[in-house]
């Protein structure tokens, strides 16, 4: 879109928004994988944390996509949730899907942390 | 539901979740009212702020409804967005719909602030 | 709110919207219950179906709350998903939480079916 | 992710899901553009239709990303909403942003129609 029309949505915001959507997507797919695996993968607290991550990532992405000046507040919440989700997933990183999910959560957390600063 | 089964969702969390959903609903209806009124009601920044409020209220409500221990972080973001939305709506409080919306945003902001503490 | 201002949101739409939100809330809480119970409660297809129900109920509720004339289409999808979720939950209705969830899904399905007609 | 683990999420579903997310994003940005433009761009029914499109696109995307077998029902609703949004935007296609939005809505409608069949 013409740059002058959305000058409130900076390139940095759009990139962070895309990172959040990727994290939303990976977590959404990984929840189903975890439920199929069972055991520690399907621990209620882990599934809940991933569901939290799915939702705050979309919210954070949309605040930036709308060009909202309040996006640092949703980015802050998102970076905290993603950090926690990354830790939980990394603890099962012998499973390549969990490693992929942990990596994306970490990237999203880092990106949101910068936007929240 | 039986209390022992969802001991992680306290009554306080459920009440705050309901406040957030009421705020989500009022803002969603008021956006359409503002667009019909036009003028300052339909100012792009005001509409965007209300859209922000609609979304973070639902996210905050759902974190509590899931019993997430990370709800203070979404409640914090929600209280800030609701405070801003309350201010914006209160500036048009000669219109009873805007007054209703401002009042609900204020209540939700207060409730979320306590949960974030 | 003053009736003349939201004449597009009928009482019937608002009631159905509330039914959808109740269903959203009950399913969201019941997912966590199911994960704690494990076994057939935590079957991946059951959890996914409940997650589907949580999301389409909110979408359907919001379409009506916005007064959208396209709400019959989201109500149709919602009634189908809720019917399926009600069946799945009713199959575990010896558990009172599942019975509560099945009952609310059935009510929401009925309400949405009328709006979709 | 390893194909065998998410065999329920076909490549076709993932592509349609991406189309829906692109449509979600374009509509979300275009709403703000329309509010800034004012006049027919900011007509309440047009803004509401775009808000409908933003929400059903995300819901449809997520059903497919979860691998839900109920995705044809959300895809059907999504294709109808996107078709209507495409029409509305195309009526202002002298504005390149509206043309971009109309084109993406049309692509998403076509993709969802195939998935709903």
Provide the strand spans (E) within B2-97: none
Region of C95 please: left (phi>0), alpha (psi -120 to 50) or beta.
beta
Q: Looking at residue D115, what is its pLDDT?
A: 97
What's the rounded mean pLDDT across residues B12-40?
Answer: 97
What's the rounded mean pLDDT across residues D52-73?
Answer: 98
Under a CB-based contact definition with an 8 Å cutoff, are residues D75 and D57 in contact?
A: no
pTM, rounded to two decimals: 0.94
* B26: confidence class by pLDDT, cuts 50, 70, 90: very high
* C25: confidence class by pLDDT, cuts 50, 70, 90: very high
Work out the percent of chain A whose per-residue pLDDT is above 70.
94
Neighbours of B47 (CB within 10 A): 22
Contacts with C9 from chain B: Cβ below 8 Å: 29
Contacts with B52 from chain A: Cβ below 8 Å: 63, 66, 68, 70
- Smallest CA–CA distance, residue C45 to chain A, in Å, is 9
Contacts with A5 from chain D: Cβ below 8 Å: 33, 36, 97
Under a CB-based contact definition with an 8 Å cutoff, are residues A37 and A101 in contact?
A: no
Which residue of chain C is at minimal alpha-carbon distance from B24? C62
What's the rounded mean pLDDT across residues C32-60?
Answer: 97
Examine the pLDDT at D91 and tell me if it is beyond 80: yes
A42-93 confidence digits (pLDDT tens): 999 999 999 999 999 999 999 999 999 999 999 999 999 999 999 999 999 9
D-interface mutation test, from B30, B44, B48, B49, most D Cβ less than 10 A away: B44
Q: Mean pLDDT over all residues of chain B?
A: 94
CB–CB of A32 and C48 under 8 A? yes
Q: Looking at residue A8, what is its pLDDT?
A: 78
Q: Looking at residue D8, what is its pLDDT?
A: 78
Contacts with D96 from chain A: Cβ below 8 Å: 1-2
Size of interface A-D (CB pairs under 8 A): 56
ipTM above 0.95, yes or no: no
B32-47 confidence digits (pLDDT tens): 999 999 999 999 999 9
Q: Which of C5, C28, C67 sits opposite B97 (nearest CB)?
A: C5
Examine the pLDDT at C2 and tell me if it is beyond 90: no
3-state SS track over chain D: CCHHHHCCCCHHHHHHHHHHHHHHHHHHHHHHHHHHHCHHHHCHHHHHHHHHHHHHHHHHHHHHHCCCCCHHHHHHHHHHHHHHHHHHHHCCCCCHHHHHHHHHHHHHHHHHHHHHC
Under a CB-based contact definition with an 8 Å cutoff, are residues A90 and A69 in contact?
A: no
Examine the pLDDT at D1 and tell me if it is beyond 50: no
Q: Looking at residue A5, what is its pLDDT?
A: 43
């Amino acid at each position: 879109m013409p740059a002058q029309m959305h000058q409130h949505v900076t390139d940095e915001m759009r990139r962070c928004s895309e990172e959040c959507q990727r994290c939303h997507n990976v977590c959404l797919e990984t929840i189903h994988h975890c439920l199929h695996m069972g055991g520690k993968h399907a621990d209620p607290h882990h599934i809940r944390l991933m569901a939290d991550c799915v939702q705050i990532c979309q919210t954070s992405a949309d605040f930036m996509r709308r060009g909202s000046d309040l996006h640092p507040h949703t980015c802050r919440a998102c970076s905290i949730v993603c950090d926690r989700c990354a830790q939980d997933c990394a603890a099962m990183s012998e499973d390549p899907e969990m490693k992929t999910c942990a990596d994306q959560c970490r990237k999203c957390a880092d990106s949101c942390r910068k936007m929240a600063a």
